[in-house]
């Protein structure tokens, strides 16, 4: 069967097991070659091919609800539901989303981008089905990283209490993005490595192979549960939540998976099916990855595994710039510690972890815990740095407010991937943190325009004795050979005047400041360009002097305007009469696409800025 001929999962149910196995290999080949051209989430999808095929073989969407936690591993689901021809547009503007998307297909009943939402959503569906007296299956697939988060624990607790019929497929590959951490992971590992586990795993296969309908399988699994409860090994996590448990099952054996799913489908009440998979299966570079390099990739050379995106030798990613500065400061200050919620690779903290293993903490997918743990460390005398993606920081708003800012603790928060991130889409765009944090008392919120200013802001943050946030975007910047640390007055902005009689004022922040300065100079505009490197507090003294010039002001904002920098300026400007023009993201979610395409689409590119200036010049 050709992948391009698949329009619905109904077509695969007539295939034999050998044909399904061949389909799995075709899908892997397709994914590797397609993602090598577009980029995307590779290793997680390679690991879930057979499991997804078996899900669609047994369960009948769109009536049956299949929810993929996070949704980044739903590429196989998209192929089986008739979207293979759209993969050349993956994560491009107006193209195929990298996650489940309800408007994209009737088979997508849920959509997310952040982890650990699937179990709560599935329970909600099950409750709605029962209350409305409907009849369909609810299936949630969740990985071993996402299941350890607090939200998953809350959902498991309620699922066990409500006892509604639903199926949880636990995808156990011992690696969410990078290696998993924490007590829950150790609990799962103890099950994997025990002698009873290994013996039972063989018995499971034998039971399935000799049993057409699988009814004996569930009896066997119940016996397995009883053996666990007798103390032969620790009972699985799920048993303690009053959930029935089947597994472990080979997640790459389609015949075995189909039989187990058929059995689980007949079970009355919530049941967990534990499948073991290999992340990156079928592509050697991804299989050997232990740090998450092949989780999300840019276009790459299949033969060599090398990325096709090469940075100039004098440039580094913003994440790397912050990490390098942190390491330099940590060499001099033994109290500096670094914390990340499961994003060590993406945040470029692996070198810090290697150099200072006792001062590095990967707390798993637990942003709330990361912030509050940092608060405790601060009160205990340490100097914490928390690296967290902007979109994930949304999950820790209460901790930023209640624990960090309210107690006015000296913790530095590095807000990575701030601003538009591009192809991961609306769930990952880091455009809300300024508006989210600006209303919180005591917090300092800043963004550097270049590598030097990043070093200086980090140094200033650690010496400030205050809760201090530094946001920095996806992308890269030029890095000088040597950078010294200098202190920056908190709340200060800088300005640069072009021409003797400026006709207007541009207020911007981040890397756009230098781009704007270059364009102004190159095109001989007479303007004042302001580097608004602090969002809170703002430089009221400089802003007052600028407003007194009675010139038009252009606020160039690459985040949401509601509650952002422009709001702060308008609040302060209320008693002045200057004409203020605002360019920024209006009240909506920004979907996927390249950053360049999205900026043009949102009218927050330099061309749009200078068109606005020319129109009012």
Q: Which tokens is 483 given?
A: 């950078």
- Could you give the 3-state DSSP secondary structure of residue 490? coil
What does the chain come to in residues? 617
Query: What are the CB-based long-range contacts (under 8 Å, 24+) for 103-109?
Result: 105/78, 105/81, 106/61, 106/62, 107/9, 107/61, 107/62, 107/66, 107/77, 107/81, 108/74, 108/81, 109/61, 109/62, 109/65, 109/66, 109/67
Element of type H or E holding 497: strand 494-498
| Catalytic hit among 395, 438, 449, 474 | 395
3-state percent breakdown (helix, strand, coil) of the chain, nearest 5: 45, 20, 40
Asked if 367 is an active-site residue, the reply is yes
- Name, in order, each residue with C-beta under 8 angstroms of 440's C-beta and a sequence gap of 6 or more: 400, 401, 405
Q: Which tokens is 331 given?
A: 């060499």
CA distances, 332 to each of 16, 336, 462 (Å): 64, 9, 12
Q: Please report, in angstroms and rounded to a whole number, the separation of the first and last CA atoms in the chain.
A: 62
- Name, in order, each residue with C-beta under 8 angstroms of 449's C-beta and a sequence gap of 6 or more: 509, 510, 511, 512, 513, 514, 531, 533
Question: What torsion do the CA atoms of 174, 180, 186, 187 make, to the nearest 10 degrees?
Answer: -70
Query: What are the helix (H) ranges across 334-415?
Result: 350-355, 367-379, 390-393, 397-398
| Catalytic hit among 185, 262, 367, 517 | 367
Residue of 469, 532, 485 whose CA lies nearest to 506:
532
| Catalytic hit among 65, 78, 279, 474 | 279
Q: Where are the beta strands (DSSP E) in 38-174?
A: 40-41, 65-68, 138-143, 166-172
Are 478 and 448 in contact by the 8 Å Cβ rule? The answer is no
Are 98 and 34 in contact by the 8 Å Cβ rule? The answer is no
Asked if 591 is an active-site residue, the reply is no
Question: How many whole angstroms separate alpha carbon 240 and alpha carbon 360?
Answer: 31
**Binding-site annotation: residue ranges for thiamine diphosphate:** 72, 113-115, 145-146, 173, 283, 367
Question: How many whole angstroms separate alpha carbon 246 and alpha carbon 453?
Answer: 55
- Name, in order, each residue with C-beta under 8 angstroms of 616's C-beta and a sequence gap of 6 or more: 504, 552, 579, 581
DSSP string, 443-472: -EEE--SSHHHHHHHHHHHHHHTS-EEEEE
**Binding-site annotation: residue ranges:** 72, 113-115, 144-146, 173, 283, 367
Q: What single DSSP character describes residue 175?
A: B
Which is it for strands 315-317 and 476-478: parallel, antiparallel or unpaired?
antiparallel
Residue of 251, 242, 249 whose CA lies nearest to 270:
242
Q: What single DSSP character describes residue 234?
A: P
Which residues are tagged catalytic?
Answer: 279, 367, 395
């Amino acid at each position: 069967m050709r992948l391009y001929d698949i329009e619905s999962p109904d077509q695969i149910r007539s295939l034999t097991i050998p044909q399904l196995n061949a389909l799995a290999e075709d899908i892997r080949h397709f994914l590797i070659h397609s993602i090598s051209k577009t980029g995307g989430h590779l290793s997680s999808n390679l690991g879930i091919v057979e499991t997804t095929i078996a899900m669609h073989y047994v369960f009948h969407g769109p009536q049956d609800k299949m929810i993929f936690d996070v949704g980044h591993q739903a590429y196989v689901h998209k192929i089986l539901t008739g979207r293979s021809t759209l993969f050349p547009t993956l994560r491009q503007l107006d193209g195929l989303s990298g996650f489940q998307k309800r408007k994209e297909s009737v088979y997508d009943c849920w959509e997310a981008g952040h982890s650990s939402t699937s179990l709560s959503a599935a329970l909600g569906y099950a409750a709605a089905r029962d209350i409305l007296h409907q009849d369909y299956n609810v299936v949630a697939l969740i990985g071993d990283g996402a299941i350890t988060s607090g939200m998953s624990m809350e959902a498991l607790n309620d699922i066990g209490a409500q006892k509604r019929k639903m199926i949880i497929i636990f995808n156990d590959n011992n690696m969410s993005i990078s290696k998993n951490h924490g007590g829950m992971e150790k609990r799962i590992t103890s099950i994997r490595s025990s002698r009873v586990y290994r013996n039972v795993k063989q018995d499971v296969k034998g039971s399935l192979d000799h049993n057409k309908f699988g009814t004996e399988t569930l009896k066997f699994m119940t016996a397995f549960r009883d053996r666990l409860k007798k103390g032969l090994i620790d009972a699985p996590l799920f048993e303690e939540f009053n959930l029935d448990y089947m597994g472990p099952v080979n997640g790459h054996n389609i015949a075995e998976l189909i039989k187990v799913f058929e059995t689980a489908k007949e079970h009355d009440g919530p049941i967990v099916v534990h499948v073991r998979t290999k992340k990156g299966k079928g592509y050697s570079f991804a299989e050997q990855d232990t740090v998450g390099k092949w989780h999300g990739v840019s276009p790459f050379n299949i033969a060599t595994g090398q990325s096709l995106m090469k940075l100039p030798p004098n440039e580094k990613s913003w994440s790397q710039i912050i990490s390098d500065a942190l390491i330099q400061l940590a060499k001099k200050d033994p109290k500096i510690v670094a914390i990340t919620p499961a994003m060590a690779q993406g945040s470029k903290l692996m070198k810090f972890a290697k150099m200072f293993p006792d001062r590095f903490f990967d707390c798993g997918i637990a942003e709330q815990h990361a912030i509050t743990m940092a608060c405790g460390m601060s009160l205990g005398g340490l100097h914490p740095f928390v690296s967290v993606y902007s979109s994930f920081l949304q999950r820790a708003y209460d901790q930023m407010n209640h624990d960090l800012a309210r107690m006015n603790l000296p913790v530095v928060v590095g807000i990575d991937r701030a601003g538009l991130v591009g192809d991961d889409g609306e769930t990952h765009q880091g455009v809300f943190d300024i508006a989210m944090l600006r209303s919180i008392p005591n917090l300092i919120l800043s963004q550097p325009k270049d590598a030097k200013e990043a070093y200086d802001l980090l140094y200033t943050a650690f010496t400030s004795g205050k809760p201090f946030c530094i946001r920095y975007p996806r992308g890269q910047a030029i890095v000088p050979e040597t950078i010294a640390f200098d202190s920056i007055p908190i709340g200060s902005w800088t300005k640069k005047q072009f021409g003797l009689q400026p006709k207007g004022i541009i207020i911007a922040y981040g890397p756009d400041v230098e781009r704007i300065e270059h364009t102004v100079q190159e095109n001989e505009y007479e303007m004042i360009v302001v580097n608004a490197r602090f969002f809170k507090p703002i430089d009221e003294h400089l802003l007052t002097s600028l407003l007194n010039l009675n010139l038009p002001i252009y606020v160039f904002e690459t985040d949401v305007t509601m509650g952002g920098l422009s709001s702060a300026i308008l609040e302060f400007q209320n008693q002045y009469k200057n004409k203020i023009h605002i360019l920024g993201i209006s009240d909506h979610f920004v979907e996927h696409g390249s950053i360049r395409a999205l900026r043009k689409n949102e009218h927050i590119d330099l061309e749009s800025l200078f068109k606005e200036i020319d129109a009012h010049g």
